[in-house]
Structure 1
Amino acid sequence: MVADNRSAVRKVLIITLLLNLFVMTLKAVLGSWTGSLSLLADALHSVTDSANNILGLIASRFSSPQPDRDHPYGHQKFEGVGALGIAAFLGIACFEILQGAIERILSGGKPVIISPSELWLLLIVLGINIFVTFYERHVGQQVGSPILIADAQHTMSDVWVTIAVLAGLIGVWQGQIFNLPQLQWLDIVLSFPVALLVFRSGWNVIKENLPWLVDEMAIAPEAIHGIVTQVPGVINCHEIASRGVVGRQVFIEMHLIVDAIDVETAHQITEEVENLLEERFSPVRILIHIEPPAYQSDQITYETESKSR
């Protein structure tokens, strides 16, 4: 049976939500004080951090792994849907950053004025982001939560964004000291790699969660066939299908040809098959269709689209 990790997930999301709200507010205030486009864009990125935490809390509320009458396969795909929501927020943030940078290039704006004390505050923000990233990733891997791992990926993009913004603002500060107004362009130029980092994070979240949501093959049928045919009494297995994520939850279906003269013997063979697969791919739910010894099939998996035509 799959462990219910929702309470641990909610605890982490609440802690990171409070930290992200603090970071977002601090960035927005500093961005307004200094007139920094990249810092205001970074604050917008942090808005998505908080929104992701709220989304994760909602998804976690409905993502119980335990089945019920209406959801006999459990509710874990709610977490995958939540992760895709994070990707959508990242896409919005990327668009907003690019739009703001282009508008500044075309229409210009007030120069950025930054002080050492404001740079030190940004270092504190960076430290908080780094803590949130590793904290979420550690707990997410520990309890097997895709929503925490996806959110940690998002926050890691925020770390790189803040580093880029901080580097640009240090350059702007040096330009103030040495009377080099050309360095004002650093604030705009660095907005573009920030947007690319945000986009990359969203794409990674999609790649990790979409196969699970569309029921992509979880385990190669050849691997399942090789394990199952080791069990005494198994003649062959075919029509093998699997979905889910190994280590999180896997569903396996197959037709099993057994050397059995009665139902009880066939049942014992299938029990051994299930135990072996459970030991290898736990947690796993297995559906086996029994067939008599005389049945023959060389097809261990479903035919490909090209063969079936």
Structure 2
Amino acid sequence: MTEQPKRPDAFYGYLEGWISLVLNIALFALKYWAGIVSGSVSLLAGAWHTLSDSFTSIVVLIGFKVSSAPIDRKHPFGRGKAELVGNIIIGAILAVIGSHFLIESISKLRNHESASFGTLAIIVSIISLVIKEALARFAFILSKKINSRSLFSEGWHHRSETFASALILIGIVLNDQFWWIDAVLGLLITGLIFYTAFELLREKIRPLIGVKPDPELINKLQEMAQAVCKRDLHINHAYIHEYGNVSEIRFHVQIPGNTSLNDAHSVVIKLEKEIKERLKMEAIIHVEPMDIKTMDTKAVSFYKRENPGLYEECLKIRKEVFVDEQKVDISLEIDEHENECKFWLIQLDGESAATGRWRLTPDGYKLERFAVLNKYRATGLGRILLEHVLSDILPTDKPIYLYSQTSAVGFYEKYGFYKTGEPFIEANIEHYKMIFDM
């Protein structure tokens, strides 16, 4: 594996990280000093919340430093998970800090302690509100520019601090009327700290262990697969893993069992390329033969006069298989026996997939026009169709027979039919007469 160049967006990550780090440390010192002077638990809690933003800024810097290292053999997806681990550590630290201020706030309520806010607290809170909102907007702009979830998360951390500063200003205004306002605001800001910790842990742990894509993404994948391969491909077992700024999706895709290895490989390569271009995600696709057991299967029998609509569905399948694929003349395919035959139609997930018919002749029951769409061959659908038709006729003392194309003789032999007589040509295709051994 050749080494890849460093991430070109690292500069913006460093820029936001360093600016946030310097300003957050300065704000922490100011707010902590103001909190000590005024005895305000809400200011002290806000100071530590600000310091937690310094920690996240450090993680942003380290994350961009580590994740921008070149991809190599030992790290085929880079080192982006280092950023996730760092954020989890910060989330745990925030939970501990929140617990401390929860106890402090409850203690102030029990002891009827109030804070002595002054001009310093007002000035510090206003400075904090303005700076944190500016940092939030700066982070949002850069996150959009370089498509960075880390910077987007950083922006919301700054925005939460803006809310905290606004709460403290409200507390300063109401402090003379309500002695308990500082303790209550301390509880509110503690809740904000806990919420930030929870969101950090939830947001960063889930990508580490892998998450299921939402239904909308699955539908997009289905549409892309159909557009690329000109057929419905059934997608399952999908999971998303994140490596910093790189997202990887893994899923299984079911394709017809008669697809050649080269064709299956071509399908996967095209689909992976399409996913990377449109969804900006790396894809690892596992190919497996189509399993109709996982599909909604419906089998119906009817005569042409009873259900002309379903009869047309049968004709579509027969035309695709016999006329288009095998070049049988349409005048031979649709014969004079259509009105006297009983038809069977198998539908998978609402799509007509296989058909066959039978009729009573002087020689017994004759099975005819068995056809399975190409993409559903080698899935067991032919066996299901044959079993339905036989169950419709049996038990009987009359012979059951069919004219099988030479290529299908082996299939019918597995289910109790045997050849009789010499091969013959029908519609330019070699056939054998086969009789069901009852």
Out of 245, 253, 271, the position equivalent to 1:273 is 271
RCO comparison, higher one (Cα < 8 Å, 6+): 1
Residue 14 of structure 2 corresponds to which residue in structure 1? 10
Q: Is the 8 A contact 1:225 1:237 kept in 2?
A: yes
Out of 276, 284, 287, the position equivalent to 1:286 is 284
Which residue identity is paired with 2:282?
A: V
Please, which runs of 5 or more residues in structure 2 have no aligned partner? 296-438
1:206 matched to 2:204? The reply is: no
Residue 42 of structure 2 corresponds to which residue in structure 1? 38
Number of aligned pairs? 287
1:231 matched to 2:228? The reply is: yes
Q: Is the 8 A contact 1:42 1:161 kept in 2?
A: yes
Which residue identity is paired with 1:83?
A: N
Which residue identity is paired with 2:15?
A: K
Q: 1:232 to 1:95 in 2, by over 3 A?
A: closer
Q: Is the 8 A contact 2:235 2:252 kept in 1?
A: yes
1:96 matched to 2:96? The reply is: no
Give the percent of matched residue pairs that are identical in Structure 1 and Structure 2: 22
What secondary structure is seen at the aligned counterpart in 2 of 1:230? Answer: helix
Structure-1-length-normalised TM-score: 0.78
Task: Provide the alpha-carbon RMSD of the alignment.
Answer: 3.3
CA drift of 1:255 comes to: 4.5
Residue 244 of structure 1 corresponds to which residue in structure 2? 241
What secondary structure is seen at the aligned counterpart in 2 of 1:244? Answer: strand
Residue 87 of structure 2 corresponds to which residue in structure 1? 83
What pairs up with 1:104-123 in 2 under 5 angstroms?
Answer: 104-107=108-111, 112-116=115-119, 118-123=121-126
Structure 1: how far apart are the matches of 2:88 and 2:267? 41
Out of 2, 16, 23, the position equivalent to 2:27 is 23
Which residue identity is paired with 1:61?
A: K
Which residue identity is paired with 1:10?
A: Y
Structure 2: how far apart are the matches of 1:242 and 1:78? 20
Give the number of the structure whose alpha-carbon radius of gyration is greater: 2
Which residue identity is paired with 1:217?
A: K
CA drift of 1:121 comes to: 3.3
Question: By percentage of residues, which structure has more strand?
Answer: 2
Q: 1:87 to 1:261 in 2, by over 3 A?
A: closer
Question: By percentage of residues, which structure has more helix?
Answer: 1
Out of 78, 100, 103, the position equivalent to 1:74 is 78
Q: Is the 8 A contact 1:239 1:299 kept in 2?
A: no
Structure 2: how far apart are the matches of 1:152 and 1:84? 17
Structure 1: how far apart are the matches of 2:241 and 2:184? 42
Out of 179, 183, 186, the position equivalent to 1:184 is 179
Structure-2-length-normalised TM-score: 0.57
Which residue identity is paired with 1:128?
A: I
Structure 1: how far apart are the matches of 2:32 and 2:66? 32
1:138 matched to 2:141? The reply is: yes
CA drift of 1:236 comes to: 4.0
Structure 1: how far apart are the matches of 2:76 and 2:279? 20
Q: Is the 8 A contact 1:243 1:250 kept in 2?
A: yes
